[in-house]
Amino acid sequence: MNNKITITTAEITDNKLLLHTDQPLDGLHPKEQILADTDNCSFIYLMEDETKYTYIILPESIWSILKTAHDSRLPVSITDQNEQTELLGFHDELEFLVTNIKGNSNYGSEFVERVEGIFES
């Protein structure tokens, strides 16, 4: 079973987007892939260690700040109490996923409407 880490808050500071979690990152490395979780209306950034993937849950509540950071192509990092890691490939992956979701009923009409509502530009 894959681990899940939920982003609790997000902020733009020092010209980058910081995604905060209370859960330990424990040396995870970016996998440079973003998935859609239509059931929970979130995006998932994949990270990994030597044995497993970890899902970084990006809930709808932070999508507006993701959009702001994406529009300016600000670096995106995840941080816990002890560690900060840049999420490589974040903007290219987000752009690819959002482009595929727009107008695509395979993701479900409610999810598509929510994504379009934030990321339509």
pLDDT (tens digit per residue) in 15-41? 999 999 999 998 899 999 999 999 999
Q: In this structure, are residues 89 and 32 in contact, taking their beta carbons and an 8 Å threshold?
A: yes
- State how many domains the chain has: 1
**In this structure, are residues 99 and 107 in contact, taking their beta carbons and an 8 Å threshold?**
no
Mean pLDDT, rounded, of the chain: 95
Which stretches of 1-121 are assigned E, i.e. beta strand?
3-6, 9-13, 16-20, 29-37, 42-48, 53-59, 76-79, 84-86
Torsion of CA 11, 33, 6, 27, to 10 degrees: -90
Instruction: Please name the residues in contact with 70: beta carbons below 8 A apart, sequence gap of 6 or more.
Output: 91, 94, 95, 119
Question: Does residue 81 carry a pLDDT above 90?
Answer: no
Longest dimension (CA), the chain: 41
| pTM recorded for the entire structure | 0.94
Q: Quote the domain boundaries for residue 81.
A: 3-119
Q: What is the mean pLDDT of residues 96-105?
A: 96
Look at residue 121 in the predicted model and tell me its pLDDT: 65
